[in-house]
Amino acid sequence: MYRFTTTSLQQQVKLLYLEHQNHRQRDLLLSVALGQVLSLLICGIGLTSKYLSEDFHANTPVFQSFLNYILLFLVYTTTLAVRQGEENLLAILKRRWWKYMILGIIDIEANYLVVKAYQYTTLTSVQLLDCFVIPVVILLSWFFLLVRYKAVHFIGIVVCILGMGCMAGADVLVGRQQGAGENKLIGDLLVLGGATLYGISNVCEEYIVRNLSRVEFLGMIGLFGSFFSGIQLAIMEHKELLKVPWDWQIGLLYVGFSACMFGLYSFMPVVIKKTSATAVNLSLLTADLYSLFCGLFLFHYKFSGLYLLSFFTILVGLMLYSSTSTYVAQDPRVYKQFRNPSGPVVDLPATGQLEPSVTYTSLGQETEEEPHVRVA
């Protein structure tokens, strides 16, 4: 048994504290950087969509989503099909097929509603109302994932939304293309509906990747997404698809769009598992700014210093939000049947000490118990 002097023990505690602080700083920077990778992928999606719709008059949002779901099917659904045991595609479908079917429809319609809204309302309205996904994710995380937030998290969220409002104000001042603005109420309702569905999809995604696996989530989305988007494509967009003036440039734009979309869907579960659905949606607020900065060179947008102010304001909000951990309120009755819903339910004793509650840091989870140093 080792004996420590008071001085050596204090030095060890200090070293542990410094190591913990350095780890926290690395986690903070990594979580923000991962979110910005997602924003850049969304920027690529927006740019390719803009070229397709404005330069080549190819208005095919359903077909573009269909291509992404087909890629997910080919990569992840086939991976599930060749697995053995409980992780096999058929075994998953037997247990949870209807849940993934609903989730696939939600994901399809979330994309469709927001894209459709641009035909009725203004760009500024879409940017501002799309932020509605953040309170949706917070509320769903609170009630269904049992996530609890601290004051600094709400401060960071407010700062991010202020940065988004600053960007929308800059759009108005410089006269950036605002959209048709006809039937604005319909367009605003479509955005709110799409944002709500996005929030539901993101929280379900966080739940699945934390409790099951990323491959299962993407494989099921690929299966049901390709099926239902294919039906929607045949009903609603087959005439538009026939009008597309196909050539190598349009083909390259579709390939670029599909690559960015596939990368976004494949990488987002990784980031959500390391951070959270709320943190990811806050990070995605910078996507419009990346598109704008590219538009300064590609589409000759007018520049305003408010755009830079908006960008750094959102980053400050992200740093504030990620600077401290959320935590999960303990309820041992929740999720106990998720992995084996057909198995027996084991009731926990009414008395006795519970396990320490779990906290989610910016990159993973840890218990709240402090490490013990045994001194003899």
Q: Tens digits of per-residue pLDDT, 312-367?
A: 998 899 888 888 888 787 654 444 434 444 444 444 444 444 444 443 433 344 43
Is residue 351 assigned to a domain? no
Give how many domains the chain has, as a whole number. Answer: 1
Q: What mean pLDDT is predicted for residues 83-90?
A: 89
Strands (DSSP E) contained in the chain are 147-148, 326-328, 358-361, 364-367
Residue 2 falls inside a structural domain = no
Q: Please report the pLDDT score of residue 200 as a whole number.
A: 95
Q: What pLDDT, in 10s, does the model give residues 247-265?
A: 999 999 999 999 999 999 9
In terms of Cα–Cα distance, which of 236, 235, 208, 237 is closest to 221? Answer: 208
How much is the average pLDDT of 9-34?
A: 73
Establish if 118 belongs to a structural domain.
yes
Give the other-Cβ count within 10 Å of 255's Cβ: 12
Q: Looking at residues 48-64, what average pLDDT do you find?
A: 85
pTM for the full model?
0.79
* Residue 195 falls inside a structural domain: yes
Confidence of residue 31 (pLDDT cuts 50, 70, 90): confident
Q: Does residue 137 have a pLDDT over 80?
A: yes
Question: What is the per-residue pLDDT for 324?
Answer: 81
226 domain-assigned: yes
Angle formed at CA 237 by CA 61 and CA 252, multiple of 5 degrees: 50
Can you tell me the distance from the alpha carbon of 114 to that of 292, in angstroms, rounded to the nearest whole number?
Answer: 19
User: 273 lies in which domain range?
Assistant: 15-329
Q: Is residue 295 part of a domain?
A: yes
102 pLDDT higher than 90: yes
For residue 303, is it within any domain? Answer: yes
- DSSP code string of 207-265: HHHHHS-HHHHHHHHHHHHHHHHHHHHHHHTHHHHHH----HHHHHHHHHHHHHHHHHH
Residue 246 scores a pLDDT above 60 = yes
Q: Whole-number mean pLDDT of the chain?
A: 80
Decide if 361 is inside a domain: no
Structure tokens at 357: 């509650």
Distance CA 280, CA 264 (A): 12
Above 50 in pLDDT, residue 271?
Answer: yes
